Amino acid sequence: MPEISPFAAIRFNGKKFSGGLSDVLAPPYDVLSEAEKSALLSRHSRNIVAVDLPHVPPKSVGPPEAYERSGRFLHEWLEDGTLVRDPEPAIYVYHQVFAHEGRPYTRRMYIARVRITAFSEGAVLPHEKTFGGPKEDRLALMKTTRCNLSPIFGIYPDPNHTVDGALEGVVQRTPDAQGTLDGVQNLIWMVTDGSIVRRVVDAMASVKVFIADGHHRYETALKYRDEVVAAGNLPEDHPARFVMFVLASMDDPGCLILPYHRVLLQVSMDQVLEAWRPGIDVVEAVRRDLTLHEGCTGRELHLRFTSRTKLATLEPTECAAWQTLDTAYIHRYLIEELLSKRGSGSEVKIAYVKSRQEAVRTAKAEVGVAVLVRPTQMDQLRAVSESGGVMPQKSTYFHPKLATGLTIHPLY
């Protein structure tokens, strides 16, 4: 089971940002473009993105000087007091307050370090595949900064709300830090009380942690640890044996999974329907498994999957939970088997977008078809992960994204 422990974080100095941290926080590095990075830096030259995103896009390793610059910035900010290190180890209660579809939510989380273990050990489990290029970028940054700059997002089962119960008294006082990013309020409370920390650690000792977001960062931390261990003796409590996590309960009503919609580029609705005919029926909206929207005409149709058992034939080694996924049916059967092989005869180009409105706009701009999917359910994610499987790309979108810049985990 996962080993959770407090750490003395590096944080932005509240005395220098008395109005809050809004101008120095950033979204996760891997969702930002060069223009978005520039916009953040125009708000404040010491926005965390200056350190956390040295190379755009971060899909492959960049020039060495980019990472050296990040290391230099971090050192300078520590020297001049922009950043300070907390005097004692803590866990950090982290709440995000936001609205979705007109409803208010609070996602209740906390930040701690988790001992790095191989996925095969079963304490920390993935649900998505990773790719080499992004890991090379993060490893180069980790080596020059010797820090975890942005947290991994992990979720865990807690049906009895044991962890939230241990922390509920903490959030009655004024937050130690706060900032608003993209309309989401981010609140932090520092917890150094040993009895509270122990209750959280004990509660986590009997659960598994599932990576919701940050698979590349976790595997990078594993590689970094192995390289440091290989270079010499590394004590069991050395910070490089741990990685920073934001942890949220799967049972928290604020822990929302939204869908990633797909847009099939440069195809018509009729082409898609003809290719998909063996695997779908057109139905009324209440019976739909997905909705198609044609960009150039605005036509919409609701579809029902009719051949889910095909997945067992196409991918017999995948677990039963994987074969229930809408995204598995869409990608492995409808797109790969029907549209690519039997329809267009070539690989289909796909864009992934986070909202229906963006999917419709993209379908119109790219003369394509938006595939509007249902969200993956939390129990599906858990079942696939525990079975050793991984979901198709972009099967989950945890909303909202975590803020980067609230805590930094030093590896020294």
Query: Cα dist. 186→31, 83, 109 in Å?
Result: 18, 18, 11
pLDDT of residue 343: 60
Query: What pLDDT score was predicted for residue 196?
Result: 98
Task: Check whether 265 has a pLDDT greater than 70.
Answer: yes
Q: Is 329 exposed, middle or buried (0-12, 13-18, 19+ CB in 10 A)?
A: buried
How is residue 134 written in tokens? 């992004």
CA distances from 408 to 45, 51, 275, 291 (A): 18, 11, 49, 42
The per-residue pLDDT for 102 is: 94
Residues 40-54 have a mean pLDDT of: 97
The confidence score (pLDDT) of residue 247 equals 98
Average pLDDT over residues 304-309: 96
Q: What is the pLDDT of residues 127-176, one digit of tens each?
A: 988 888 899 999 999 999 999 999 999 999 999 999 999 999 999 999 99
The per-residue pLDDT for 345 is 60
What letter would DSSP give residue 364? H
Q: What is the mean pLDDT of residues 334-351?
A: 84
Q: Report the distance separating Cα 281 and Cα 301, nearest Å.
A: 10
Q: Would you state the pLDDT for residue 132?
A: 81
Position 364, amino acid: K
Global pTM reads 0.94
Q: Is the pLDDT of residue 80 over 80?
A: yes
DSSP characters over 265-299: TT--HHHHHHHHGGGEEEE-GGG-SEEEEETTT--
Asked whether residue 279 carries a pLDDT value surpassing 70, the answer given is: yes
Residue 133 confidence (pLDDT): 83
What integer pLDDT is reported at residue 114 of this predicted model? 98
User: What percent of the chain has a predicted confidence (pLDDT) above 70?
Assistant: 99
